[in-house]
Structure 1
Amino acid sequence: MRVSVYIATSLDGFIARENGNLDWLPGSDGTSEQSEEDFGYHEFMDSVDVLIMGRKTFETVLSFEIEWPYSEKQVIVLSSQPLQIPNDLPATVESSTSSPAELIQQLSEKGYQRAYIDGGKTIQSFLNAGLIQDMIITRIPVLIGSGIPLFGPVDNDRKLRHINTRTFENGFVQSEYELEY
C-alpha cells in the first residue's frame, strides 16, 4: 500500500498558526482562489483510496462553511479520545485508535492501494513509523513566524529523493519527494 502526503506550508515551514488557524492559506475558508489552478490536488485525490487524518484536522475541516469536501471517499480520523462523527457526514467517515502500522495493515488487507495522510501530528507519526513513501509539499510565499510545524523530531534521519518541482504564477512552489528507507 502506498502512503502519501499532500500538504501546503508557509515558507517558514508551518501548516497552521499555533491556534490551528489557516487564514494565511489562500482558499482556507473553503472558497477557491480566483485562479482555476488546483495545483494537482484533484489528480492526487483521484489516485487515493482512503484519507487518514488526525482529530484536529478533522475538526478544522468541519469548521469550514462548505459541504463535506471528500464526497464518498473513505476517511479515517485518528484520535486517542472518543470521537463523535456528525450524522450528516457520509457513512464512509469513521474513527480509529489504531497505530499507524496497524491501520495501514488493516487497510491493506481490505484492498486499499493508496492512503493520503493529513494533519501535522498524524504525518509525523506515520513518518516516524517509516510508512510514508512520498510527499508533495506546496510552499506558500508567506512567513507566519510561528505555528504548527509540518515536521517535528524524528527517530532518525529520513533521506528523501527529489522527484520534481513546479512553480506557479502566484508564487507557490510545489516539490515532490520519495522517502528512502
Structure 2
Amino acid sequence: MRKAVLMMSVSLDGYFEGPNREIDWHLVDEELHRYFNQQVRSMGGILSGRVTHQLMADFWPTADTDPGPDSTEAMVEFAGIWRDIPKYVFSRTLEHADWNTTIVREVVPEDIRALKEQPGGDLVVGGAELAAEFMRHDLIDEFHLCVHPVLIGRGRPLFPEADSFTRLRLTESRTFGNGVVLLRYERVGSGDL
C-alpha cells in the first residue's frame, strides 16, 4: 500500500511560513531542488490545499517554457514533473483546476485510505492545514521535514496543538551544503513499540 508522506520545509523554530505567509527565508539551492525533484518524481500524486495548489499553479506550469532570469536547471526540470503528476486539491470553493488536477471537497478518511490502496507511488501531502486535517484522521504515514537554519521568530507553526501522541522512528537524516537538514520519520505502529 502506498503511503501519505508529509513533505514540508520548516524553520528551526518550527514555522512553515512567516506571519504574512512569507517563505522567502527558504534556502532552496540547486542541490536541494534536485533532491525535491527526485522525491516528487517518484510519487504517485500530490495532495494539497487550495492555497498551496494555487501558489504552485501560478508559477510551475510555464516555468520551463518561459523561465525567469533566476530560474535554475532544477527549477525548469520541476515544471514538467509538476505538470505531469496527478494532483488532488482539497477545496470547498475551487470550481476548476487544470494541470492533471482533481478537486476534492472534504478529507474523508475512507476515501484517502482507498486512494492509498491504489497502485503507484506514495502520495505527497503539502500544506500545513491539509496536513493537520490528515493528522487529525491519522492518515500521515511518513514525515519528510527540511529544517532550514533560520529562526524567523513568529509565523504559522507547522504542527498545531493536538490531543494525540504519535511515536516516530528516524529513517534518514541528511545535511545539504546550504545547512538545510532533512529529517525523515515514519510512524511507529502499536505493534512496533
Q: How does 1:125-140 map to 2 (within 5 A)?
A: 125-140=133-148
More strand, by proportion: 1
More helix, by proportion: 2
SS of the residue corresponding to residue 33 of structure 2 reads coil
Match of 1:75 in 2: 87
The alignment's TM-score, normalised by the length of structure 2, stands at 0.78
AA in 1 matched with 2:41: D
Which runs of at least 4 in structure 1 moved beyond 3 Å after TM superposition? 62-66, 108-113
The alignment's TM-score, normalised by the length of structure 1, stands at 0.83
Deviation per CA, 1:75-95: give whole Å up to 9, x if none: 01101x220335xx32x1121
Q: How does 1:77-156 map to 2 (within 5 A)?
A: 77-79=89-91, 81-86=92-97, 89-90=98-99, 92-108=100-116, 110-156=118-164
Give percent identity, aligned residues only: 26
1:140 positional shift: 0.6
CA contact under 8 A between 1:100 and 1:125: conserved in structure 2?
Answer: no
Instruction: Tell me which of 166, 179, 182 is aligned to 1:158.
Output: 166
Distance 1:173 1:103 in 2: 33
Q: List runs of 5+ in structure 2 lacking aligned partners.
A: 64-78
| Cα-Cα RMSD | 2.2
1:24 positional shift: 1.3
Q: Identify which range, 146-155 or 18-27, moves more after superposition.
A: 18-27
Q: List runs of 5+ in structure 1 lacking aligned partners.
A: 28-32
The alignment covers a number of residue pairs equal to 171
AA in 2 matched with 1:48: M
